[in-house]
Amino acid sequence: MRTAGFIFPGQGSQTVGMGAELAANFVQSRACFDLASSVLGYDLLERVNNASPDELKETRLSQPAIFTANVAIYRAVETLGLKPIVSAGHSFGEYCSLTIADAIDFDQAVGVVNERGQAMGEAADVTPGLMAAVIGLDEAGVAESCRRARETTGLRVDLGNLNTLTQIVVSGDAEAVEAACEIAKELGAKRVRILNVSGAWHSSLMEPAMPRFARAVDAVHLSMPIFSVISNVIAKPYTSVAQIRECLLASLCAHVRWHETALALVAMAPDVIIECGASEVLAPMIKRLPTIGEIPVMHVADIATLHDLQDAMGSLAG
């Protein structure tokens, strides 16, 4: 049996109708939406199919919707008979990893992710912010951009996501983020791009969300994963339930160490790495890692891309 590493994107990966085609063709995928709907108290599949892009971007809906769609896609991929040996998720995409590794039940994960979205939405309502990707400047340069922006504006901005060595997201107050982007360009960044999210995630602006979110995390039952799940907070596989709980809490304000997390996943040498999500966000970053070697990296979002994976696995088997 071929081994696989599974990766799951977070906010910004959402698309209208995500997961719907697979839910219409795989009972396992449809069951994800049905169970999520029973937890949330509304028809999630109907909402995903009919929401506008702006509605779907709002964190109160996007988090449970992306989580459910990601796992629904995985359940369809699971029918191909690959053996998962490692998984990682970007931001709250990690809840998908913990779910498929039996560290948390699906229905409890939906509830926690929903509470996370609600708490973060409330925090964003009180203190709106921005996130922006800085391309072509290293961590030291982006950190310096943030430092200068804090000095000139008196507002908050810091590193949010360390996606690659030269693709780094900043997060904070809108004016400070915009200032950091301008400074980053002066320091040599090739370009900057405001992200398709509704708040300043992974920054100190999310501190007001912590009490509500902490109650949800404290109440959920967690187990050790049945295969390796790499935390995007510490960029290492989890070694205890207490560590999982601690990192889930910390992830609300801590920056995402995705580059290191991806390196740790590739080091476990699965036969294939598969991104399960509506948009191809993480797979291109994995493909550019110097350690990727000959490991194929695929993305599955619908029937067509599932067939692409199936064809690729057949070619590898041959």
How high is the pLDDT of residue 315?
66
Q: What is the CA radius of gyration of the chain?
A: 19
Q: Is 91 a catalytic residue?
A: yes
91, 145, 171, 198: the catalytic one is 91
Cβ neighbourhood burial of 185 (10 Å; 0-12, 13-18, 19+): middle
90, 202, 255, 299: the catalytic one is 202
Query: Residue ranges per domain, the chain?
Result: 3-125+206-317, 129-198
| Residue 144 near residue 190 (C-beta atoms within 8 A) | no
How high is the pLDDT of residue 196?
77
> Whole-angstrom Cα distance, residue 170 to residue 55?
23
What is the CATH topology of the domain spanning 129-198? Alpha-Beta Plaits (3.30.70)
Q: Is 315 a catalytic residue?
A: no
What is the CATH topology of the domain spanning 3-125+206-317? Malonyl-Coenzyme A Acyl Carrier Protein; domain 2 (3.40.366)
Q: Which residues of 99-117 are buried (b: 16+ CB within 10 A; e: fewer)?
A: bbbebbebebbbbbbbbbb
| Span 188-204, pLDDT tens digits | 999 999 987 889 999 99
Measured from the Cβ of residue 31, the count of other Cβ atoms closer than 10 Å reads 14
Question: With a cut of 50, which residues of the chain have pLDDT below it?
Answer: 318
Model pTM score:
0.96
How high is the pLDDT of residue 318?
45
